[in-house]
Chains A and B, each alone.
Chain A
Amino acid sequence: MEDSDFGSMLARLSEKSRNEYYNPYTKFSWPDSVSEDAWWMNPEYLTVHGTGLVEDERTLKALARYETVNFFSLHVHGIRELMIEVAKRIHTPDFADYNEYLHHFIGEENAHMWFFAEFCYRYTGGIYPEAASPLRREGHGDLWDDVVVFSRILIFEEIFDYFNSRMGKDQLIPDILREIHAAHHHDESRHVAFGKQLVKRLHQRACAADPERRDEIEKYIKDYMTYSVRSLYNPQAFRDAGVDKPLEVRRKAMQHPVREAFHVRVMARVDRFFVASGIFGTPWGEGHVSA
């Protein structure tokens, strides 16, 4: 995409953000409670779906509740990282062209973070803590770190949009959950469109300045895709739902061929983007998550 086309896209996205602005604090009618007899997540999207590892409906419904909390908690932690990284860059010389849209981006993400957390605090015991690594995140130099940061954001948005876009239309789940998924999906389509063009440009800039690190970055981004899929399988959600031998069940679920095929489907769109834009020499493909 040429500079002028990218500029037009940013102007269009900013206009859409202005026109479609909503007050997140008044948008939703929060019910007094959400029934535990309901499926909070369609069983099709549970991490054990298709594995036969958990078959008792009561346990599966509990898992649907706790995996919803995990899913929303991952949004909250992911958005925090996203806002920190974008805030570090807005109104700096390298990101001057994106200032206006980045303001919308941060504002919308702040709204999303609020409603995901609000659901968890209103109807459950709150959000799950972040599975933080005790090891410091690897640095790749400023230009490549920009690529890594916005690739992480794009992966995170694409994974969640896979679920949001489907559960935002799912009549099986309670209204408030469907509305939250739908609201997030609506805004994220703009963020993903922006993120893809930005990552491409940042990658071209980094390649021109320091091509030696290209393979290292491809490996890191693929490892982050693997890490992100694994984060959907939260052992604490398994424990809270009363799953027997939670770590063993989690490991077996991740390794199951049905789940491997599902992981590929969830990642298909962002994997295709990374290959088509030359950021990946080969697709992420399959067989990573079960390691």
Chain B
Amino acid sequence: MSAPDSEAMEAVTDFLRKCNPSADSVDWDCDLIDARILDSLTFVEFLLLMEEFSGGPIDLGTTDVANFRTLNRISAFLTKAGTHEQP
């Protein structure tokens, strides 16, 4: 896993590491769901973390789950939400 570039991405990587220690070695383009780092149980908590750092509720009716499948996409999502600088 590359070095986190912000408090938000640091929190994301810390969360993923606790879900599955193999998160430490994943590429930023790795699909976190296919790699079973995020699953149906942990995704609920992960979305709340995303809401906290993006500053508002995330409606999955209008926000594609694909935004959260890789670290690069998560970083882009948080950048768009204005919470941190993209690497």
Contacts and interface: CB of A to CB of B under 8 A. Distances in A.
Given A134-B65, A135-B65, A291-B19, A223 B52 contact: no
B18 A133 contact: no
Given A223-B41, A227-B41, A291-B18, A134 B51 contact: no
Interface residues of B, number: 18
B28 interface: no
A138 B48 contact: no
Contacts of A248: 52
A250 B43 CA distance: 17
Contact of B15 (A135, A250, A291): A291
Interface in B22-73: 33, 38-45, 48-49, 51-52, 60, 65
A220 B36 CA distance: 12
Nearest to A131: B44
B87 to A, nearest CB: 24
Interface in A114-155: 131-138
A247 B39 contact: no
A129 to B, nearest CB: 12
Q: Which of B18, B40, B48, B60 has the most CB of A within 10 A?
A: B40
Given A135-B65, A227-B45, A230-B45, A251 B52 contact: yes
Q: List 9 tightest A-B contacts by C-beta distance, closest first.
A: A291-B18, A247-B52, A135-B40, A133-B40, A227-B41, A137-B40, A133-B43, A223-B41, A134-B60
Interface of A: 131-138, 220, 223-224, 226-227, 230, 235, 247-248, 250-251, 291
